[in-house]
Amino acid sequence: MKPTRNLTALYYRLSRDDELQGESNSIATQRMMLRRYAEQNHFNIVDEYADDGYSGTNFERPSFKRMISDIENGKINCVITKDLSRLGRNYLLTGQYIELFFPAHNVRYIAVDNGVDSENQQSSEFTPFLNIINEWYARDISKKVKRALYTRNENGAHYGAYAPLGYIKDPDKKGHLLIDAETRWIVEKIFGLAVQGRGAASITRILTEEKVPTPGWLNYQRYGTFANHFADAPPEKAHAWTIAIVKEILKSETYIGNSVHNRQTNISFKDKRKVRKSESDWWRVENTHEAIISKEDFQTVQGMIASRRRKQKDGTTQIFSGLVKCADCGWSLAYGVNRQNKNPYGYYRCSKYGQGLRQCSMHYIRYDVLYAYVLSRLQYWFNEAQQNESQLLQRLLKSSDSERSSARKKAASELKKAQKRQAEIDALFARMYEDRMAGKITEHNFSMLSDKYQTEQETLAQTIDSLQQQLAQGTQESADAEKWIALIKQYTAPTELTAELLNALIEKILVHEASKDENGNRVQKVEIFYRFIGKID
């Protein structure tokens, strides 16, 4: 009888990929097999270690690390696995344990199915090759999983653990989202505040003060998730919004009906740490579910986020930052302070000119001059909105309307002509077909005329579609004007400018180069483009 081998560890591992192979690799199967092997060969089992759901390329497994610790403490001097892949699928690290760590700690290693036993030199000669094969297998599985994910994401499916705020998972269609009637108002409130010019910090404060429930709290209430955060938490935890959550919602294309995937990936199939991918590598599928927010409002908010006010070194915030542009080159105007006088003052100048390349002119304007002009225009339009809203609507529609009106009349005339010609060609085709059937024209002439008229039909169809869109723009202009009036009426008569006010009402401010009039006075043109309606001053 062979002597009993003491201090033996049985190690089992199963990953999600291994589960696809069926019962042969299950933890229960591995345990039954290794216990029988240990009993038949008189090994004394000290402990068993099982990692269920862990990849072989990852050696940060809890039971594996516990086993290594027991080896280092002298509790284990023999390790048995079903095969080499159970120990690991990373060629280098698996080899380090088998060829360096185990021998250094006088540990015998046995992989039953592979016939590997470290006490048998001949059986161990093929171990490195088997480890390479196991790594190839892991690499191949990783590629297949990525391809499967790509195919699934190409269809815009959502397979996250939870549906985003404002949505629920469709019970009848896996991967599809439905609008949640109970929570969509929260998303609409967040974007509504953002369109008004509120920043993420301001929105967070409002949501918290009004005790709006957070996405995490809603999931806890519905599904019992995040119990470790909410089970014994104080009541205010239910509406403890953070700026990060608000920013994530404001930037998510989910709310305009798009599905965006592949925003992050693992470093490699061996290293599961996440890295963020470039936006150009994202997988974006449009219109995969019903939108909560209009694309127009979403783009407005993205523009506001991009031009959010930044603080200067002295702690002050330049409320015009990101809004003031050079009328000639389109670059932003940079803010500066003139400290040479007894009374320092701020000013703006073209940043392209300021780079020293002199590729543009200075476009210099004092901060206080710009401030006074913009404030006066906003005060004017606010008073107009309060006094006679309907009259203001008509003014907005007529502002710079001569060109638009002329263009619309021309488009309507061209549309009428195109539609008339389209009807004529339809009639011509009918007559041509009758003539061909009656033998009045040859097959050659019929084919030649058909090609000619088909080409003209395609051109006319494109022209009619373009003209119809152009005419429909008039309806959109009316809706935009109404939206801007409603927006400006939300503010009380402004006595000062704030970043929030400017960001809500103004899209950009163009500053032209100053000139001198016939009397030597400095004259400068400043154009304000308001959100939704453009230039109306």
Tokens of 26: 């299950």
* Cβ-Cβ contacts under 8 Å for 321 (sequence gap 6 or more): 307, 309, 310, 335
pLDDT at site 78? 94
Torsion region of 156: left, alpha or beta (phi above 0 gives left; psi -120 to 50 gives alpha) = left
* Cβ-Cβ contacts under 8 Å for 461 (sequence gap 6 or more): 422
Task: Choose among 248, 259, 247, 252: nearest CA to 298.
Answer: 252
Task: Choose among 90, 97, 83: nearest CA to 11.
Answer: 83
User: Does residue 111 contact residue 83 with C-beta atoms inside 8 Å?
Assistant: yes
Quick one: 235 exposed, middle or buried, by C-beta within 10 A (0-12, 13-18, 19+)?
Answer: exposed
User: For residues 237 and 230, what is the distance between their CA atoms, to the nearest angstrom?
Assistant: 7
pLDDT tens track of the chain, all 537 residues? 344 457 899 999 887 655 544 444 688 888 988 999 998 888 999 999 999 888 887 788 899 999 999 999 999 999 999 888 888 877 677 778 888 888 899 999 988 887 888 887 654 554 454 545 445 544 555 555 555 555 555 555 665 677 889 999 888 887 788 999 999 999 999 998 888 778 888 888 899 999 999 998 888 888 777 677 777 788 888 888 988 889 889 988 889 888 876 555 444 434 444 455 566 666 677 888 899 999 888 888 887 777 654 544 444 457 887 789 888 888 888 888 888 877 888 899 888 776 555 678 888 999 999 999 999 998 888 888 888 777 776 777 665 444 455 666 777 788 888 888 888 877 777 777 677 777 777 777 777 777 777 777 778 788 887 777 666 655 456 667 777 777 777 777 788 888 878 888 888 899 999 998 888 889 999 999 887 777 877
Give the β-pairing of 274-276 and 333-338: unpaired
Tokens of 304: 């506001």
pTM: 0.43
User: For residues 506 and 528, what is the distance between their CA atoms, to the nearest angstrom?
Assistant: 7
Tokens of 28: 């229960």
User: For residues 336 and 524, what is the distance between their CA atoms, to the nearest angstrom?
Assistant: 19
User: For residues 466 and 477, what is the distance between their CA atoms, to the nearest angstrom?
Assistant: 17
Q: Looking up tokens 């995490």, which residue turns up?
A: 216
Q: Within 13 Å, how many C-alpha atoms sit on residue 377's CB side?
A: 18
User: Does residue 293 contact residue 255 with C-beta atoms inside 8 Å?
Assistant: yes
pLDDT at site 400? 46
C-alpha angle 466-467-470 in degrees, rounded to nearest 5: 90
**Residue 450's CB: how many other CB atoms inside 10 A?**
14
> Which DSSP category does 20 fall into?
T
Task: Choose among 237, 245, 231: nearest CA to 164.
Answer: 245
**Residue 30's CB: how many other CB atoms inside 10 A?**
23
> Which DSSP category does 254 fall into?
G
Bridge partners (DSSP) listed for residue 111: 81, 116
User: For residues 461 and 156, what is the distance between their CA atoms, to the nearest angstrom?
Assistant: 32
DSSP string, 255-314: GGT-EEE-SEEESSSS---EEEPPGGG-EEE-SSS--SS-HHHHHHHHHHHHT---B-TT
User: For residues 160 and 25, what is the distance between their CA atoms, to the nearest angstrom?
Assistant: 28
**In the chain, what's the furthest Cα-to-Cα distance?**
119
Phi, psi of 27 (to 5 degrees): -60, -40
User: For residues 205 and 240, what is the distance between their CA atoms, to the nearest angstrom?
Assistant: 9
User: Does residue 335 contact residue 312 with C-beta atoms inside 8 Å?
Assistant: yes
User: Does residue 110 contact residue 81 with C-beta atoms inside 8 Å?
Assistant: yes
Residue 134 host element (H or E): helix 127-154
User: For residues 417 and 255, what is the distance between their CA atoms, to the nearest angstrom?
Assistant: 41
Phi, psi of 507 (to 5 degrees): -90, -45
Torsion region of 345: left, alpha or beta (phi above 0 gives left; psi -120 to 50 gives alpha) = beta
- C-alpha distances in Å from residue 518, one per residue of 128, 333, 523: 91, 28, 10
Q: Coil, strand or helix: which one is 413?
A: helix
User: For residues 198 and 210, what is the distance between their CA atoms, to the nearest angstrom?
Assistant: 15
**Residue 285's CB: how many other CB atoms inside 10 A?**
16
Torsion region of 197: left, alpha or beta (phi above 0 gives left; psi -120 to 50 gives alpha) = left
User: For residues 207 and 236, what is the distance between their CA atoms, to the nearest angstrom?
Assistant: 12
User: For residues 194 and 140, what is the distance between their CA atoms, to the nearest angstrom?
Assistant: 46
User: For residues 197 and 485, what is the distance between their CA atoms, to the nearest angstrom?
Assistant: 15
